[in-house]
Amino acid sequence: MGHTATAQAGSGGLTATEHRLANGLRVVLSEDHLTPVAAVCLWYDVGSRHEVKGRTGLAHLFEHLMFQGSHQVHGNGHFELVQGAGGSLNGTTSFERTNYFETMPAHQVELALWLEADRMGSLLAALDEQSMENQRDVVKNERRQRYDNVPYGTAFEKLTALAYPEGHPYHHTPIGSMADLDAATLEDARNFFRTYYAPNNAVIAVVGDIDPEQTLAWVEKYFGSIPTHDGKQPPRDGALPDTMGGQLREVVEEDVPARALMAAYRLPHDGTREADAADLALTVLGGGESSRLHNRLVRRDQTAVAAGFGLLRLAGAPSLGWLDVKTSAGVDVPDIEAAVDEELARFAEEGPTEEEMERAQAQLEREWLDRLGTVAGRADELCRYAVLFGDPQLALTAVDRVLDITAQEVKAVAAATLRPDNRAVLVYEPTEAPEAGNEEEEAGQ
C-alpha cells in the first residue's frame, strides 16, 4: 500500500519558490488554486534552547506578547482584524522555534502580511509594563491549566529534565518556571525582542490561492524597511553521546487516575536517515492500535488501557522516543515494564516484518500528505525545513526519504537505542489506589 502510493507521491506536484529581501528575510511562496484560501506562516529562529538559566520561558512569553498589540494595532486588534476578515490565527513555541500563522480568504492575504510586519517592526512601541504583566499572568495561568493542575501534566517537563542533563539547552521546556516568569523584567523582554525578532532571523511562507508576484511585492512593501539585527548568538551546543549509558528514574506520587509508565529514549537527530528509521521503528512498536505494544499490552494481556510510542524530532539535540503506557486497574508498573522490554528486545533482534514496514511507511506517508494537504500545514512544513535545515524544498520530498529506509536500518537503530540503559523513566503512582474495574482513557499531552 505504502509503496504503491509512493510511486505517485514525490512532491505531489507541489512547488515552492524562495526569495530573500535585502534585510535578510527569507520568503517562500507556494501557489495552489484548489481552494480560495491562503496561509501566512512566520517562523522565528528562537525557542527555549536559546534561553539562559534564570530567564526560562521568555520565548513562550513573547509568543503571547506578540498578540498584545503593536504600533498601529492596539490590544486584541490582531485577533479582531483576522477573525473579522474570516480568518483564523495562532502561535506556538517549541524548543527550536516560535511561529505565528494565519489562514485567510485569499483576498485578505495582504492584511495578514501587514499585521505580521507591523508587530515585527514596531512591537517595542507598544510593549510596556501593563502588557508585560497582563501576559505574564496569562502564561502562568496556562502553566497551571496545562501542566500543574492536570493528571500527568508535568510528565513532559520531568522527563525532559531527566533526559537532558542540567545545563543542557533542552533541559527545560518552553513553558518555563513560575520563578523565572516572575523574575523577567520589561528590559529582559525588550532585549529578547531586539535580538531575535529581526527579519534576518525569520522565514515567512505564503501558501495557497496567491499571485506570487503580487504577494512578493506585498512582502517587500511591508517587511522590506524593517532593519536587520546582528546581535544574535548561536544556541548552545546540544550534542550528547549517542546513548545515555544508564537508566535514569523518577517515581511520582500524585492524584492520577491510573498508574503510568513513561520513558524517553535518546534517538538520532532529526534530518538524518537514522531519525527516519527510528520514526518507523516507533510506529511499528507504538503507533496506533495495530502496533506491537498495543497488541501485547492492551489487546492480549489487558494490562494497559493505552500504550503509545512516538518520536519527538529535534534538530539541535538528540531526538526523544516517547513511551506512554497507562495501566489497567490493579496492574503493577514492573509487570508492564518487563513486557515492554521483552517486546523491544524481540524487535531489536528480529526487526520489522515486511507487512509491518509497509504499514508503518504508509502511516507516515499519510501523515505527511495530511500536513501538506492543507495550506496551513504546507506553510508550516516549508518554514520548518527552511529554519532547521536551510532548505524549504526538503519539505516537499520528506516522504521519499522515509520510504527509502530499509527494514535492516530500522532493526539497527532499534538495537542501538531502544535499550534499558538508554532511557529516562517516569513512574506515576496514584496517591489513592485505583478501584478494580475502573478504566482510564489515555491522557493527552
The set of catalytic residues is 63
How many residues are present in the chain? 445
* Grid cell in block for residue 234: 548561536
CA distance 372 to 378: 4
CA distance 430 to 409: 39
CA distance 223 to 112: 12
Half-sphere exposure of 408 (CA within 13 A, CB side): 0
CA distance 209 to 221: 20
CA neighbor of 194 nearest in space, from 127, 130, 133: 127
- Residue that has been written with the C-alpha cell 517549541 in this structure: 94
CA distance 424 to 170: 14
Burial of 150 (0-12, 13-18, 19+ CB in 10 A): middle
Alpha carbon distances (Å) from 441 to 191, 235, 307, 431, 438: 44, 39, 11, 19, 10
Residue type, 239: A
CA neighbor of 308 nearest in space, from 432, 170, 443, 420: 443
**Residue 326: how many other CB atoms lie within 10 Å:** 28
CA distance 65 to 236: 25
Alpha carbon distances (Å) from 233 to 198, 207, 292: 13, 31, 44
The single-letter DSSP state of residue 422 is: E
Q: Is 374 helix (H, G, I), strand (E, B) or coil?
A: coil
Burial of 302 (0-12, 13-18, 19+ CB in 10 A): exposed
Residue type, 181: L
Cβ(291)–Cβ(336) below 8 Å? no
Q: CB under 8 Å to 101, separation ≥6 — which residues?
A: 39, 40, 41, 42, 89, 90, 91, 376, 379, 380
